[in-house]
Structure 1
Amino acid sequence: MFFDISKLTQLKAPASEERFAKLIFDNRVIKEAPLSMAYFTFKPGQIGPRHVHQSEVEVYLCTKGKGMVLIEDEPHVLTPDTLLYIPPRMFHETRNIGDGNFEFYAIFGPMVNFDNIRAWEEVS
């Protein structure tokens, strides 16, 4: 399948955890996909919730800006063309530490379902 990220709908998280996502694919888009993928944008100062994935690996590939991911309270700084592997069962929190937008692909394996993100508000 072919995806044009620029044409995907951008979704905005609730104010308490504000950040933005474009859902590329999960099992609702490709039924038997072995992984899922989304594109996230954090504006300056935005911080995502601390969370954990019990069985999924998460990989971040930074495309723009400067972000930091705390994995079990160990900081990892991401800048364009850097990649971060987050093992299962590791608590992590993502934040923008730069002056511009922090943007990255998030790849999950095995696949996660994005229905919780689909509930976010659509923005233009």
Structure 2
Amino acid sequence: MKPKQDLRLLVEKMANMPWKEYPGHFGGALSKELAGPTTTGSSRVDFRISRYAPMAYVQEHVHKVQEQVYYVLEGEGILTLDDAKHLMRPHDYVYVPPGIRHSFTNTGTDGLVFLVITTPADDEEEMR
């Protein structure tokens, strides 16, 4: 188990947070960590806003222990869960438990903007 990090209160403007293309994300699949390990020291939650350019995607992957919620704000894309494909549009959301293969691709003509909540923040460590 990792040593406990110091948690930090955070009140911030989203514009101040940098966009980042995380590993496994391609073609302009960008995210901002709003609250998580590097911004608040939390090991329990990783909260991001993501914006995928048309055709951008996250490659198919599986989480060992992490649970995720995706909530679409703008645009549309195909979310693949195991072998099922789901068209996601504004106000659609999904809960993805550990062990489900998933990917997300912007299939629209505009940006796909969505929130991602992941817990725990590290896929190697279960919450106690």
Is the helix fraction higher in 1 or 2? Answer: 1
* 2:53 counterpart of 1:43: yes
Q: Percent identity?
A: 20
* 2:87 counterpart of 1:63: no
Q: 1:29 aligns with which of 34, 39, 42?
A: 39
Consecutive unaligned residues of structure 1, counting only runs of 5 or more, are 114-124
2:59 partner SS: coil
Consecutive unaligned residues of structure 2, counting only runs of 5 or more, are 1-9, 124-128
Report the structure number with the largest CA radius of gyration.
Answer: 2
Aligned length: 113
CA distance in 1, matches of 2:36, 2:66: 13
TM-score (norm 2): 0.77
Residue deviations 1:8-61, cap 9 Å, x none?
Answer: 1112357x8231111112223222452111111111112221111110111101
CA RMSD of aligned residues (A): 2.1
CA distance in 2, matches of 1:108, 1:13: 14
Cα pair 1:26 1:112 within 8 Å, conserved: no
Q: 2:96 aligns with which of 86, 89, 101?
A: 86
For residues 9-24 of structure 1, what are the structure 2 equivalents within 5 Å?
Answer: 9-13=18-22, 17-18=26-27, 19-24=29-34
Which has the bigger relative contact order, CA under 8 A and spacing at least 6? Answer: 1
In structure 2, the residue matched to 1:5 is 14
CA distance in 2, matches of 1:109, 1:13: 17
